Amino acid sequence: MKVNVYVTLKPGVLDPQGKAIHHALEGLGFEGVSDVRAGRFIELDVADTISDADLDAMCAKLLANTVIENYRIERP
Partner 1 sequence: MKTAVIVFPGSNCDRDMAVALEQVTGRAPSMVWHRDTDLPDGVDFIALPGGFSYGDYLRSGAMAARSPILQAVTAAAARGVPVLGVCNGFQVLTEAQLLPGALMRNAGLNFICRTVGLTVENDRSLFTSAYQAGETLNIPVAHHDGNFFADSDTLDRIEGEGRVAFRYAETVNGSARNIAGVLNEAGNVLGMMPHPERAIDVAHGGTDGLRLFEAALRVLA
On whether the CB atoms of residues 40 and 15 are closer than 8 A, the answer is no
CA angle 58, 37, 45 (to 5 degrees): 30
Binds partner 1 by CB under 8 A, chosen from 68, 70, 73, 75: 68
Binding flags for partner 1, 14-53, as an x/- string (CB under 8 A): x-xx--x---------------------------------
Instruction: Give the end-to-end CA distance of the chain in Å, rounded to a whole number.
Output: 8
Applying CB under 8 A, which residues contact partner 1?
A: 12-14, 16-17, 20, 61-63, 65, 67-68
